[in-house]
Structure 1
Amino acid sequence: MPEELSPDKKTIDLTEEMPLVEGMETDEEFLLARDLTGFFLKTFKSIRFYPPDNPTIKGFRDQLFKKLQYFLNKYPSFIIQIGEFTLSFKDRVIYENRDTKSSLAFLLYKDGLRELRFAKGLEEWEVQGLMDVIRGSESINQLEDDLVTLIWERDFTHISYLATDDFLEETPILIPENVDQLKSKLIFKPLAYNVQVDIGEEEEDDLDKLISQTVREMPIRDKNVYFLTTEELDRLRAEVESEIDPTFVFNAIDILFEILGLEQEKEPYQDSINLLTKMLDGLLTLGEFQRASDLLKRLYIMIKTYELRDWQAEAIQKLIESAGNEVRIERIGRILEREGGVRLEDVNEYLILLQQNSIKPLIKLLGELKNSKTRRVLCDALSEIGKNAIELFTPFIDDRRWYLVRNITYILGRIGKEKALPYIQKTFNHEELRVRREAVQALGLVGGPKAVSLLIKALNDKDTRIRAMSAINLGRIGKNVGLAALLEAIQSKDFQKKEPAEMKAFLDAVGMLGSNEALPVLQQMLERKSLFGMGKKDETKIGVANALAMIGTPEARAILEKGMNSKDESIRSVCQQALSRTIPSKESPV
């Protein structure tokens, strides 16, 4: 049996059509009416969507009856005022929806209903009958019946209505008194086909002749008759767009989540899960990644906050896992290859919600994508999904595609666990230069003694960029061991021969470590006479002064202040520039 709703039950409010009411509402009757109307709408949605014999429908209907009884026990009647797109209570709007396909207000209004009234003493069969009428109203022949007639035929005791017939009210009808008056009001222009006779004056004996004439002659088609005005074209275009608008899918998702919150039977519960799976596929096909993310988030909320039976939690968990299976990842890949119409931020938001079963399909897709931006999105998502599943990435370290190996190295670096170091070390020795560069960056992100050791080794690599990147990463994580290696490098005879960018990287790394142990070496390098002659710009001195400024201790500032009084113009200049960029002195490290 469906579970009764209670204030303590954690549910998600899915009625996005209900307007927000500003401020604190103090009218108890209005608050109850608004709540009652909200549940009336939920019941209306469920009966439109779910089969009539499903027990979930009974659950909604029973709760609606109880809410109506509660209201009518406090107040003599409950009257809903019906506008074209709104429902009101005592002239205050409590519902608005301008979508003619899903709006309850429009459904009632178009058939002439203007008020729906519930009186004290309401019986359960009347509520059930009204729901049946509303359900059947969408499939009736409009030429034979309407909603007002169906309600009237039910002969409800405690449900009444106010209805109008706009056509009869606004268009007076003249009933002819005789045949001559009827003929005088007939309109004969334009003539049908090629008829050139006055039908109003034709005698009865000539009828056969008239018919034979119209049959023999072909019609003259005047194409001007088929021209549409701008207003007509706009109206038709709007109707077509409403037909292909996926809004109905989003409304159906809301209803399905309401059903999951109430349903207690396995078979209909699984039916709802299956429908949500199809909705997810539809959203992915449309490229609606943000809405697909919202769907998954709501499933996670249900697992964490709802009191679910084991079989319910298992069904939801299977749906979540299926969101990242190979078939759906392939579908996502086809969408990403279009390179247009999809926000990559939304794609990332969806991907990070997937389970670990999606890792291998995503890596497979990563090796196939051609666009670098979409590959980066997949790498960032895999870094989140695979935090506790490094073993799923390591088989791809030996892949023959160097670009995939580089991406796996990028991912392992951002996961940032020392467990990945043996595999990063393999890429550190890779034959492809771009893979080795990525390995150096990954070592800097992982850290630890082993990473520092490999970075020190890379200071002597043949590639300039690898040497510079290794120095910077040592500056981040090297501490005392890294400092010793860096100081040895900047004191070597070959250091002055390096490119300015590489020299700057090494000296910046020393400054990043912020240790006073580097001060004697830096002071010596600063005060050394320029190799390029007195007053000539010395790139080394600029880098040394900046390193002292980055260390920022009182002792480091003292060296810079002393340099401002130097007789060497190049020393004075670089020290003055460095001091102008420094922040207030840091305390000396203990």
Structure 2
Amino acid sequence: MDPQEIQSGGGVEVLMGQRRIATIWANELDLSVILQKRKELEAAASGSELSVATAVSQVSESGGLTAAMPVVHEQAPPELADIIARMEQEDDNEKYRQLARSLVDCCEVLRSAGDYESLFPALSFLVRQGNDEGISVGRRGYALLALDQVADEQVIEYLVQGLVEKNTEVKEQLHPIFRQLGAKTVPLLVARLAVAESKVARKNLSAALVAVGEEAVASLAGQLTDERWYVVRNVAAILGEIGDVTCVGQLAQCLAHEDERVCKEALRSLGRIGGHEAEAEILRVLGAGEPGLKRQAAISLGLMRSEASIATLCAVVGRRDIFLRSFQLKMDAIQALGRIGSVRALPCLVGILQQRHWLASRRWRELKVAVAVVLGQLGDATTLFPLLALAARGGRLGQACADAAESVRMRLDNRRE
């Protein structure tokens, strides 16, 4: 970097903090040597290393990690509270840096004593400072650097344990910390998610990974090939919540999974992510996929408001089915057309409304009621005549058509105004 650019950014130490760089070894070109040095430093700092494999092993053997449930204290120990208060009031970057180093040292003492509970005020404070646009870039950088130094693997393990326990208050306070720590928390979160037994634990761990966001995508996507169907389903759901388009191809491969539950979750996630590639994969399932997946495909396309799917959805609705065995799929397709809200669907919908059916008459009536509701939502003047014609016949369908016609009139009046 240009020296002036470094200076304007707050200096080398600030920029290192922003990029989560804790140590620099100059003039060393061999990556294996660098990694070995890093391993030695981390081992010296933490006393022992906890890998993901070790974490999983501990969980498998003992049913849970040995760390106790975090209890968030509103007040920090006196010495730590004093440093936090001084940092909060300090405007000078250099003095702030010195205080940040003191805070790290104080946290190291607490960490060595196993008092992880008392670290929460410091972690939360550093996250707030690191994201506070009201303070200088320099102080924000020092806060983030201090956070990275305080939150070692053992602290992260303790934070993850807090998510496994059934405590909503703790969970909500932990998510901003996971979001800020980012990728360094992902391996253990993923490992614990794979072995979590309770629904609450899976939900909390999933929410933390969603909070981490795009930094978790690469690790999560690698789990889509796991042999356990429930792991793949959970990971697919998280990727959908994160919404990163880079994992669309890997989610699409899950549509061929042997377990239908995984396929449905992949369809939901593709619908959440959106984009042309995801849309094309969902359309493929709706057009020629397994019967059990077509309903979810229709729902996902409706939630996406996919204009490209209108012709296929209309084909599903209009497909000949005397006994209406595909009732649920047709209902989902009609509701999807209503969510999309395009007048291109009108000929198909009005055609269904005007057909007469002697077999499975009750099901056809329910289907036509759903069509009437959608026509009322679309609010097109051309649908008034067929709606009023059926409204005159009375009955449940007649009432639905009368309500839809009134809705169309109201929408037309609003547009004129």
Q: TM-score, normalised by structure 1?
A: 0.50
The answer to whether residue 328 in structure 2 is matched with residue 498 in structure 1 is no
Change (3 A) 1:511 1:265: closer
1:330 to 148, 157, 163: 157
2:399 to 566, 573, 579: 573
CA contact (8 A) 2:163 2:204 kept: no
The answer to whether residue 246 in structure 2 is matched with residue 419 in structure 1 is yes
What are the residue-to-residue correspondences of 1:377-388 with 2, within 5 Å? 377-387=204-214
1:462 to 283, 290, 296: 290
CA distance in 2, matches of 1:534, 1:440: 32
The answer to whether residue 276 in structure 2 is matched with residue 446 in structure 1 is no
Change (3 A) 1:360 1:496: farther
CA shift for structure 1 position 341: 7.9
Change (3 A) 1:329 1:582: farther
1:510 to 322, 337, 357: 337
What is the aligned partner in structure 1 of residue 229 from structure 2?
A: 402
What is the aligned partner in structure 2 of residue 433 from structure 1?
A: 260
The residue matched to 1:382 in structure 2 has which SS?
A: helix
The residue matched to 2:181 in structure 1 has which SS?
A: coil
AA aligned opposite 1:294: S
AA aligned opposite 1:530: H
The answer to whether residue 374 in structure 2 is matched with residue 543 in structure 1 is no
Change (3 A) 1:543 1:423: same
Structure 1, unpaired ranges of 5+: 1-244
CA distance in 1, matches of 2:101, 2:119: 24
CA contact (8 A) 1:379 1:411 kept: yes
Change (3 A) 1:274 1:432: farther
Change (3 A) 1:324 1:270: closer
CA shift for structure 1 position 444: 0.7
Change (3 A) 1:534 1:355: closer
Change (3 A) 1:247 1:488: closer
What is the aligned partner in structure 2 of residue 122 from structure 1?
A: none
What is the aligned partner in structure 2 of residue 472 from structure 1?
A: 299
Determine which structure has greater relative contact order: mean sequence separation of CA pairs < 8 Å that are 6+ residues apart, divided by chain length.
Answer: 2
CA shift for structure 1 position 557: 4.3
The answer to whether residue 314 in structure 2 is matched with residue 487 in structure 1 is yes
CA shift for structure 1 position 522: 1.2
CA shift for structure 1 position 485: 0.4
The answer to whether residue 127 in structure 2 is matched with residue 300 in structure 1 is no
User: Residue deviations 1:14-43, cap 9 Å, x none?
Assistant: xxxxxxxxxxxxxxxxxxxxxxxxxxxxxx
CA distance in 2, matches of 1:252, 1:481: 62
The residue matched to 1:508 in structure 2 has which SS?
A: helix
CA contact (8 A) 2:274 2:304 kept: yes
CA contact (8 A) 1:277 1:319 kept: no
CA shift for structure 1 position 505: 1.1
CA distance in 1, matches of 2:194, 2:151: 17
Larger Rg: 1
CA shift for structure 1 position 288: 8.9
CA distance in 1, matches of 2:328, 2:101: 63
User: Residue deviations 1:300-321, cap 9 Å, x none?
Assistant: 1579724648xx945x433323
AA aligned opposite 2:349: L
CA distance in 1, matches of 2:326, 2:114: 53
Cα RMSD, aligned residues only: 3.8
User: Residue deviations 1:537-569, cap 9 Å, x none?
Assistant: 72221121122123223334454234323x475
What is the aligned partner in structure 2 of residue 254 from structure 1?
A: 81
CA shift for structure 1 position 363: 1.3
CA shift for structure 1 position 489: 0.9
What is the aligned partner in structure 2 of residue 585 from structure 1?
A: 411
1:272 to 82, 88, 103: 103
What is the aligned partner in structure 2 of residue 524 from structure 1?
A: 351
CA distance in 2, matches of 1:268, 1:343: 27
CA contact (8 A) 1:467 1:502 kept: yes
CA contact (8 A) 1:536 1:570 kept: no
What are the residue-to-residue correspondences of 1:202-217 with 2, within 5 Å? none
What is the aligned partner in structure 1 of residue 51 from structure 2?
A: none
Report percent identity of matched pairs. 20
Q: Give the length in aligned residue pairs.
A: 338
What are the residue-to-residue correspondences of 1:52-451 with 2, within 5 Å? 249=76, 251-260=78-87, 261=90, 264=95, 270-276=101-107, 285-286=116-117, 291=121, 294-301=124-131, 305-306=135-136, 308=138, 313=141, 316-322=143-149, 325-339=152-166, 343-387=170-214, 390-451=217-278
CA shift for structure 1 position 264: 4.0
CA distance in 2, matches of 1:333, 1:249: 21
Change (3 A) 1:535 1:497: closer
Change (3 A) 1:439 1:417: same
CA distance in 1, matches of 2:315, 2:239: 31
Higher strand proportion (structure 1 or 2): 1
Higher helix proportion (structure 1 or 2): 2
